[in-house]
């Protein structure tokens, strides 16, 4: 006898409490294999394909695309093949597909089946799959059959005539002499089906569904109501629930219409309406993080203009050398990016000023200095601002940094960054010059202690060697947590970065 298992949204790790459904990968009635991805979700960190640990027929999906689903909420139910449960637990007991516990809180002792073994962060499927008590399709009712004013033909798709007759009897005002409720839970998975039946006064215990193992589907309830309306000569009006359920993740909602007393005159143009956009997904997580940074971190900012002419010449020299002497071992095969050169300068500066590569543990009242530099960089995507992290940036050269920046930027653009790519940073480099601006006072990426901002590199008048000249000038700004260091340390780091930008040969001293 088939079992109907409920698969819930697992804990995707990194303290995430929910996810947004981006795209369903399966349909109701579709056969899925073990570990087959069934839904694509977007968390506050990344896009994730969620695999189902069960193989069978999808009987229900929970949540529309764009809806927010909390961790532990059901995603789908799957009907899987299994042995009949002749001596199963009493009616009303069932186990969850994720925790293996029964409805009354007791643990099931007879778990023998093995799961798929597929593991996302924070959940596994090694425990035995849960089993739900089902109502046998052919189980007869102990009482006399329902009588109705007219006979009701059976349907071609196998929907039970008893359900239709019961609905007809109620709609026509005839006495309800339906069979007594079958012992055990009602074979319904979808809450929409229960709601539709409750609104129209239809007792689901009198129905035998057309789904797998007698599962009652929405089509069964709708057919019974249509048949009842046809036989009784009227259609029952659904009764509105006294307290309508409010969806968890509403679509952008419009402001309420003005009251009748303040309604505009007929023919007058309607006033523009405000649109509310939910803060969710990546944008919502970033909003929370930036708000926390502003609330907790006493930050300060210092900035300096630097002549980047020599840095740009050094980059052009590396490019020309690779083009003119491609077979040279020193030529390399990657075009070095300006961001990679600035990142290399930052890692050298953090080695001299380790106070800025730290975080604050207020619970222990300690400043934690990190031994490795995990360099984050701001990347703007269609889904919002993200900060991918280059691991162990202090051990990488300019070529390695260029390749890693390119890989993470492409992953951010396509939405394939993993939670590991977006966490664990210790210092952030923010190149807002790509937006065509010179300066900024960036917000520190909590719980880090500092962020270096880089403006656009543009030709400007500059005094060079005692004469006025046109040079490539860039503005550098450093925002730092005043709890980890004083202005002297922050100014020293910024001055070192500016000196390396103006004279890249300074880096040769530390190579």
**239: Cβ–Cβ under 8 A, 6 or more apart, which residues?**
199, 200, 201
User: 76 - beta bridge partners?
Assistant: 7, 61
DSSP structure class, residue 205: G
Determine whether 428 is exposed, middle or buried from the number of CB atoms within 10 Å of its CB (0-12, 13-18, 19+). Answer: buried
Name 481's bridge partners.
299
User: For residues 30 and 50, what is the distance between their CA atoms, to the nearest angstrom?
Assistant: 16
14: left (phi over 0), alpha (psi -120 to 50) or beta: left
Q: How far is CA 286 from the centre of its chain?
A: 13
Return the percentage of the chain with pLDDT > 90, whole number.
36
Instruction: Give residue 67's Cα distance to chain centre.
Output: 10
pLDDT of residue 334: 74
pLDDT of 322 reads 82
* Cβ contact 394:365 at 8 Å: no
Asked if pLDDT for residue 199 goes beyond 70, the answer is yes
Residue 15 has pLDDT above 70, yes or no: no
- Residue 368: the pLDDT is 96
At residue 109, the pLDDT reads 39
| Mean pLDDT, rounded, for 211-218 | 78
Residues 6+ apart with CB under 8 A from 381: 282, 412, 413, 415
Span 259-276, mean pLDDT?
68
**For residue 383, pLDDT beyond 60:** yes
| Residue 190, pLDDT above cutoff 50 | yes
How confident is the model at residue 511, as a pLDDT? 63
Check: CB of residue 490 under 8 Å from CB of residue 477: no
pLDDT of 189 > 80? The answer is no
CA angle 404, 406, 410 (to 5 degrees): 120
pLDDT at 476 over 90: yes
Task: Read off the pLDDT of each residue in 254-274 and give the average, rounded to a whole number.
Answer: 60
Least confident segment among 141-155, 172-186, 421-435, 482-496: 141-155
For 274-292, what is the mean pLDDT? Answer: 84
Q: Are 278 and 249 in contact (CB under 8 A)?
A: yes
Beta bridge partners of 36: 52
Three-class SS state of 360: strand
* Parallel, antiparallel or unpaired: strands 467-481 and 458-464: antiparallel
The single residue listed with the structure tokens 């059976």 is: 154
User: Does residue 239 register a pLDDT over 60?
Assistant: no
- Report the DSSP pairing between strands 253-254 and 275-276: antiparallel
pLDDT at 3 > cutoff 90: no
pLDDT band, very low/low/confident/very high, at 185 (cuts 50, 70, 90): low
Better-scored residue on pLDDT, 41 or 489: 489
- Give mean pLDDT, residues 301-317: 95
Per-residue confidence band for 430, with pLDDT thresholds at 50, 70 and 90: very high
Average pLDDT over residues 118-124: 44
Catalytic residues: 482
pLDDT at 301: 95
The token pair that represents 61 in the structure block: 């999906």
Average pLDDT, the chain: 76
Q: For residues 431 and 409, what is the distance between their CA atoms, to the nearest angstrom?
A: 13
Give the pLDDT of residue 191.
Answer: 60
Give the rounded percent of residues in the chain with a pLDDT score beyond 70.
Answer: 68
Q: Which stretch of DSSP H or E encloses residue 69?
A: strand 68-70
Neighbours of 324 (CB within 10 A): 9
Label the pairing between strands 375-377 and 427-431. Answer: parallel
CA-to-CA distance for 19 and 327, rounded, in angstroms? 50
Cα–Cα distance for residue pair 363/320, rounded to 1 Å = 53
- Please compute the mean of the pLDDT values over residues 189-193 and round it to a whole number: 63
Give the helix ranges, DSSP H, for 90-236.
161-171, 191-199, 218-232
Taking residues 245-269, report their average pLDDT: 50
pLDDT of 126 higher than 50: no
Closest CA to 61 of 85, 50, 77: 77
DSSP secondary-structure letter at 462?
E
The reported pLDDT for the residue numbered 184 is 52
Per-residue pLDDT for 331 more than 80?
A: no
Q: Distance of alpha carbon 436 from its chain centroid, rounded?
A: 31
Cα separation, 478 vs 442, in Å, equals 8
Q: How far apart are CA 417 and CA 436, in angstroms?
A: 26
Average pLDDT over residues 24-46: 86
- Which one has a higher pLDDT value, 24 or 167? 24
Rounded to 10 degrees, what is the CA torsion of 132, 137, 141, 146? 120
- Please check whether residue 424 is in contact with residue 417, taking contact to mean a CB–CB distance below 8 angstroms: no
Who wins on pLDDT, 276 or 120? 276
E-only strand ranges, 205-274: 253-254
Determine the 3-state secondary structure of 90 from DSSP: coil
Q: Which region among 201-210, 315-324, 443-452 has the lowest average model confidence (pLDDT)?
A: 201-210
Report the DSSP beta bridge partners of residue 358: 369
Query: What pLDDT, on the 0 to 100 scale, is given for residue 413?
Result: 87
State the DSSP H helix or E strand holding residue 499, giving kind and residue range, or none if neither. helix 487-502
Helix H or strand E segment including 440:
none
438-473 tens-digit pLDDT = 988 889 999 999 999 999 999 999 999 999 999 999
Name beta bridge partners: 375.
Answer: 390, 427
Phi, psi of 432 (to 5 degrees): -85, 0
Which residue, 170, 213, 238, 249, is CA-closest to 56? 213
Are 95 and 101 spatial neighbours (Cβ–Cβ below 8 Å)? yes
d(CA 153, CA 411): 59
Please report the pLDDT score of residue 61 as a whole number: 93
Whether the Cβ atoms of residue 357 and residue 350 lie closer than 8 Å to each other:
yes
């Amino acid at each position: 006898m088939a079992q109907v298992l409920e698969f819930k949204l697992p804990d995707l790790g990194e303290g995430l409490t929910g996810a947004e459904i981006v795209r369903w990968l399966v349909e109701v009635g579709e056969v899925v294999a073990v570990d087959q991805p069934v839904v694509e979700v977007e968390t506050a960190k990344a896009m994730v394909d969620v695999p189902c640990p069960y193989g069978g027929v999808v009987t229900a999906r929970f949540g529309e695309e764009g809806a927010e689903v909390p961790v532990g909420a059901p995603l789908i139910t799957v009907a899987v093949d299994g042995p009949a449960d002749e001596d199963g637990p009493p009616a009303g007991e069932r186990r969850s597909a994720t925790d293996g516990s029964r409805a009354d809180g007791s643990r099931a002792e007879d778990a023998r089946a093995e799961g798929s073994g597929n593991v996302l962060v924070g959940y596994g499927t090694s425990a035995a799959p849960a089993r739900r008590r089902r109502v046998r399709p052919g189980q007869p009712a102990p009482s006399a059959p329902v009588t109705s004013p007219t006979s009701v033909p059976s349907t071609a798709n196998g929907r039970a005539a008893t359900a239709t007759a019961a609905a007809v009897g109620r709609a026509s005002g005839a006495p309800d002499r339906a069979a007594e409720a079958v012992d055990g839970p009602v074979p319904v998975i979808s809450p929409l089906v229960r709601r539709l039946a409750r609104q129209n006064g239809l007792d689901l215990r009198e129905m035998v569904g057309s789904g797998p193992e007698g599962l009652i589907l929405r089509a069964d309830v709708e057919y019974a109501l249509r048949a009842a309306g046809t036989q009784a000569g009227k259609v029952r009006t659904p009764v509105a629930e006294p307290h309508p359920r409010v969806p968890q993740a509403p679509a952008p909602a419009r402001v309420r219409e003005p009251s009748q007393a303040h309604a505009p005159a007929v023919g007058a143009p309607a006033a523009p309406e405000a649109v509310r956009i939910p803060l969710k997904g990546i944008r919502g997580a970033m909003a929370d993080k930036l708000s926390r940074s502003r609330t907790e971190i006493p930050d300060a900012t210092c900035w300096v203009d630097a002549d980047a002419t020599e840095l740009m010449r050094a980059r052009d020299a590396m490019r020309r050398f690779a083009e003119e002497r491609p077979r040279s071992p020193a030529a390399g095969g990657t075009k070095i990016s300006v961001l990679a050169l600035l990142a290399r300068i930052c890692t050298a500066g953090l080695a001299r000023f380790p106070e800025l590569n730290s975080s604050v543990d207020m619970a222990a009242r300690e400043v934690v200095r990190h031994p490795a530099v995990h360099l984050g960089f701001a990347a703007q995507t269609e889904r919002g601002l993200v900060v991918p992290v280059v691991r162990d940036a202090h051990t990488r050269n300019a070529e390695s940094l260029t390749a890693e920046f390119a890989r993470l930027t492409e992953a951010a653009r396509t939405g394939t960054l993993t939670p590991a790519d977006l966490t664990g940073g210790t210092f952030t480099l923010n190149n807002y010059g790509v937006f065509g601006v010179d300066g900024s006072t960036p917000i520190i990426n909590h719980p880090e202690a500092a962020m270096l901002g880089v403006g656009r590199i543009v030709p400007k008048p500059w005094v060079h060697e005692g004469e006025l000249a046109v040079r490539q000038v860039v503005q550098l700004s450093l925002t730092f947590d005043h709890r980890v260091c004083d202005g002297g340390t922050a100014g020293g780091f910024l001055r070192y970065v500016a000196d390396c930008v103006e004279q890249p040969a300074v880096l040769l001293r530390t190579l």
